[in-house]
Structure 1
Amino acid sequence: MTAFRKLLVIILPLMVWSTNAFGSGGIVVIKIDGAINPAVAEFVTNEIRSANMSLEELIVIQMDTPGGLDTAMREIIKAIQSSKIPVASFVSPGGSRAASAGTFIAIASHIAAMEPGTNIGAAHPVNLMGGGAGKVMEEKVVNDASAYIRSLAEQRGRNAHWAELSVRKSVSVSAEEAKRLNIIDFVVANLDSLVLALDKREVKLGKSIVVLNTTDKNIVFKEMNRRQRLLDIISSPNIAYILMMLGLVGLYLELSNPGLILPGVIGSISLILALYAMQTLPINYAGLLLIILGVVLFIAEVNVMSYGLLSISGAISIFLGSIMLIDSDDPAMQISKMILYPTLGMTFLL
């Protein structure tokens, strides 16, 4: 029995080592469905590192995104560029898009593919500084983004001129047009078709060439953990707005009725979560200040006899601030009217 235990002590580490050394050689699929924010960046970069450690055959980033935060996008691109395993971006399913930050990620990938009925482009930087950013600052941001996407396109042998136009002119093209313009490598019907198309394909990784063997490989779909999923959800413009209004209402109830405690606690937590979400959104700070002013006017109404004038002014201020809050022409980055008006109505009723 003692000899058997000693044998296990020797064999088990060797089994673990062999698993890590040779890896499963499978295909890892990482899904991005929605805006690219810090939670998504953490999820994607962690999965890329994990796939590299286990020596998988291929990493596929399957995405449908309107764009997102520049810092989160660059974090993902750095992970792609440092990967020792080929990374393929796949805009899928049909009707999806790789807009803004998604365009950068697709161009930066070793392989870029799209499903019919998808589109790519419109990569003009979103104004994350709100309405107060000057023309000179905006020009600097555009020039920086243009140089960045051109360098990525040149590195992968893609159409650098179109890539720059997608930033400066917000041009966008269909999957078929993207293939014709040498923006992507493949137009395929689905993930299985992509896997088949990539078999025996040579991919340049740094100074070396890797030949992919994707036939009969196990496909593993990765998902966010609970923490990442929660942070991703609250980064939605609609959820962020609801959290902000809930937080302000909670603080209003606490300040106008000292000692309630619960509204103040809930309000504080909601505001902190809303502030986290707002770092990923193109917030117009003039709108945000109007909302805060409106809440201040409501609180003042409790202590000052104004015959409703302060309350009316506060309601107008909150309404205008809510409309101005998101500074973006992209519908995916705006607050839905189905959320905006009911939330305002509930706020005024309280």
Structure 2
Amino acid sequence: MRKLILLLILGLSQAFADNFVYVIKIEGTINPATAEYISSSIRKAAEEGAECLIIELDTPGGLLESTRTIVKAILGAEIPVVVFVYPSGARAGSAGVFITLSAHIAAMAPGTNIGAAHPVGIGGMGDTSKVMEQKITNDAAAFVRTIAEKRNRNVKWAERAVRESISSTETEALKDSVIDLIARDLKDLLDKIDGKIVKIDSREKVLKTKDANVKFVEMNWRERLLALISDPNIAYILLLLGIYGILFELYNPGSIFPGVIGAICLILAFYSLQALPINYAGLALIILGIILLILEIKIVSHGLLTVGGAISLLLGSIMLINSPFELMQISLTVIITAVALTVLFFLFAIGMALKAQQRRPTTGKEALIGEVGIALTQFSPSKDGWATGQVRVHGEIWRAISRDKIEPNEEIVVRGVEGLTLKVEKVDRKE
């Protein structure tokens, strides 16, 4: 009997010890890396039997397609998902509205706000017509209405957040039934959601989060890599490095390493640019700038092509990312530094490579042409007009032919090479 009681106590303590929640932090823009991070965390939390997954959210917005992926993962989750707009000063802007509304439980910390979900510049819209913008807005409005209805939240507020870009504080959001509660911090949140009944598909789950163990889930190496290259500054640098590498390989065939690195950088850049709202006019200006800098090396323009290339590259770089979010724009410091380095790269690095290609050969038969040597024997023209003899060029003795009469020890200059025979002329000292 005593053993049975001990086993029962041990089992109960183990059960309480296993009571845990997963927590992930989302800061910055919503992109493919963020979508994968949230989706994989939901799966992991469900597989390991967590009470719930808590998403601490602070975002200005992001890509609509990535937002759809996240919402789909939350709505289809097998465990409760809690979105907590935290800490104070955080916001759930634009894409963050969709994510917060889709949660089983939506919470906000004091001093936070939610709203302004109009889809301008989201999802790589670029420069769209009014008709296309209206279509995208209508689609986003229908999407947010569906989410709000699914979670029994304020549908009218959700649609106004998309169409009118309204925004609310945490107290206003709670009053308007946009969120479920306000919590000071994570511990306060766990205490307040304890005992809440959450509906998951056709079943109900009672949350047991009070005094639960908290497990913070970090991004894995793949998600960190995707997040890194999704940064607009990194994407921009990868694009320029890719162009440098390919051009260097073209001007120096056989180098291999620059070409391989350039190709890898370009592929990564194309992935990054796919995940960002690209302005193709900006991309075209960058390509034009590169072309003008290349032409400067080949055409004497007294610096006009360089100036034009630098201006085109600068304007294209500024226009490249078409987004109202500061976090999704390229830093002006990065742009100015990159443009300056690019101009220097083309003027010096590739310029030196072209000069090296145009330099006269220093080895082989071609290197002998124009070289001066000494006649070792007398050259007396024969009936056919050619005279034969021997000369010393570069310290080597050669058989030579000439149409000039040349005396021993006279200087000669090589004018051609036929097999192992040199065509030479007598050096005219008057010249």
Q: Normalization by structure 1: what TM-score? A: 0.88
Matched position secondary structure for 2:227: helix
1:68/1:329 CA distance change after superposition, 3 Å: closer
Cα pair 1:256 1:299 within 8 Å, conserved: no
User: In structure 2, which of residues 61, 68, 75 is the aligned counterpart of residue 67 of structure 1?
Assistant: 61
Residue 106 (1) aligns with residue 88 (2): no
How far residue 62 of structure 1 moved from its aligned partner, in angstroms, is 1.2
Q: Give the structure 2 partner of residue 279 of structure 1.
A: 274
Q: Give the structure 2 partner of residue 177 of structure 1.
A: 172
Alpha-carbon distance in structure 2 between the residues aligned to 1:157 and 1:121: 18
1:312/1:251 CA distance change after superposition, 3 Å: farther
Post-superposition Cα deviations, 1:58-80, rounded to whole Å, max 9, x if no partner, equal 11111212222222211111111
User: In structure 2, which of residues 35, 49, 55 is the aligned counterpart of residue 41 of structure 1?
Assistant: 35
Cα pair 1:115 1:190 within 8 Å, conserved: yes
Alpha-carbon distance in structure 1 between the residues aligned to 2:70 and 2:263: 32
Q: Could you say what the CA RMSD is over the residues aligned between the two structures, in angstroms?
A: 2.1
User: In structure 2, which of residues 191, 194, 205 is the aligned counterpart of residue 196 of structure 1?
Assistant: 191
| Structure 2 unaligned residues grouped into runs of 5+ | 1-15, 346-431
Alpha-carbon distance in structure 2 between the residues aligned to 1:312 and 1:262: 30
Alpha-carbon distance in structure 1 between the residues aligned to 2:80 and 2:201: 11
Alpha-carbon distance in structure 1 between the residues aligned to 2:275 and 2:86: 23
**Amino acid corresponding to residue 54 of structure 1 in structure 2:** E
Residue 187 (1) aligns with residue 182 (2): yes
1:23/1:138 CA distance change after superposition, 3 Å: farther
Post-superposition Cα deviations, 1:197-248, rounded to whole Å, max 9, x if no partner, equal 0011122223333221112211111011112101101111121112222222
Residue 55 (1) aligns with residue 83 (2): no
Q: Give the structure 2 partner of residue 235 of structure 1.
A: 230
Q: Give the structure 2 partner of residue 218 of structure 1.
A: 213
Cα pair 1:243 1:271 within 8 Å, conserved: yes
1:308/1:261 CA distance change after superposition, 3 Å: farther
Post-superposition Cα deviations, 1:264-284, rounded to whole Å, max 9, x if no partner, equal 332222221111111221110
Between structures 1 and 2, the one with greater strand share? 2
Residue 158 (1) aligns with residue 176 (2): no
Residue 326 (1) aligns with residue 321 (2): yes
Alpha-carbon distance in structure 2 between the residues aligned to 1:253 and 1:225: 35
**Amino acid corresponding to residue 162 of structure 2 in structure 1:** V
Cα pair 1:41 1:75 within 8 Å, conserved: yes
Q: Give the structure 2 partner of residue 139 of structure 1.
A: 134
Between structures 1 and 2, the one with greater helix share? 1
Cα pair 1:131 1:286 within 8 Å, conserved: no
Q: Give the structure 1 partner of residue 341 of structure 2.
A: 346
Residue 88 (1) aligns with residue 82 (2): yes
How far residue 259 of structure 1 moved from its aligned partner, in angstroms, is 4.1
Q: Give the structure 2 partner of residue 8 of structure 1.
A: none
Aligned pair count reads 330
Matched position secondary structure for 1:88: strand
1:126/1:271 CA distance change after superposition, 3 Å: farther
Q: Give the structure 1 partner of residue 73 of structure 2.
A: 79
Alpha-carbon distance in structure 2 between the residues aligned to 1:173 and 1:248: 46
Alpha-carbon distance in structure 2 between the residues aligned to 1:131 and 1:259: 40
Deviates more, 1:255-264 or 1:136-145: 255-264
1:338/1:304 CA distance change after superposition, 3 Å: closer
**Amino acid corresponding to residue 99 of structure 1 in structure 2:** G
Post-superposition Cα deviations, 1:19-71, rounded to whole Å, max 9, x if no partner, equal xxx99442111221222222221121112112222222111111212222222
Q: Say which structure, 1 or 2, has more relative contact order (CA 8 Å, 6+ apart).
A: 1
Alpha-carbon distance in structure 1 between the residues aligned to 2:94 and 2:17: 34
* Structure showing greater Rg: 2
Alpha-carbon distance in structure 1 between the residues aligned to 2:271 and 2:277: 13
Q: Normalization by structure 2: what TM-score? A: 0.72
Alpha-carbon distance in structure 1 between the residues aligned to 2:165 and 2:335: 28
